[in-house]
Amino acid sequence: MGKGDLGKTYSDGEVITRQGDVGECMYVIQKGKVQVVVEKDGVETPLRVADEGEFMGEMAIFDREQRSATLRAVGEARLLTIDKKNFLKRIHKDPSLAFQLVRTMSKRIRELSDEIARLKINLNREQAAIDERENSDY
């Protein structure tokens, strides 16, 4: 870690926060990349890789649920922690402080909507192909 580096450095593959943990902070990637992984029934599914400058774990700021995904460093990554309690206090005094965060969340909802649409189209196509095959069998 360089002398002027702010935040905490994680080595390649190191877990930053684990799915199911209670989140008391969010992160801002200062350097490197972070992989978002969802674990279900013992199977890990990588969702996406986040880049420098991105907010991570921001849902913990607004809800009291457990972390919905595991964050893992891809290569060496450096992240700055933003404490939930103090951040909420500051948002209360200056609501516009949450603007970038809301913009990020809005962008992610848009990306998720696109992803759902893409999956639905694929699913419909597959269903149509199955129906067509079944019809031709008759």
The residue from 37, 59, 82, 105 that contacts other proteins (CB under 8 A) is 82
Alpha carbon distances (Å) from 56 to 2, 18, 19, 104, 128 = 23, 12, 13, 10, 38
Give the residue with the Cβ less far from other proteins, 106 or 122: 106
Element holding 30 (H helix, E strand): strand 25-40
86 near other proteins (CB under 8 A):
yes
Under the phi-then-psi rule, with left for phi > 0, alpha for psi from -120 to 50, and beta for the rest, what region is 116? alpha
DSSP string, 35-89: EEEEEETTEEEEEEEE-TT-EESTHHHH--SBPSSEEEEEEEEEEEEEEHHHHHH
Residues 49-68 that bind other proteins (CB under 8 A): 53
Give the residue with the Cβ less far from other proteins, 34 or 98: 98
The candidate with the shortest Cα–Cα distance to 70, out of 95, 35, 100, is: 35
30 near other proteins (CB under 8 A):
yes
4 near other proteins (CB under 8 A):
yes
Per rule CB under 8 A, count of chain residues that contact other proteins: 25
Give the residue with the Cβ less far from other proteins, 46 or 95: 95
99 near other proteins (CB under 8 A):
yes
114 near other proteins (CB under 8 A):
no
Q: Contact positions toward other proteins, by CB under 8 A?
A: 2-8, 28, 30-31, 53, 80-83, 86-87, 90, 94, 96-101
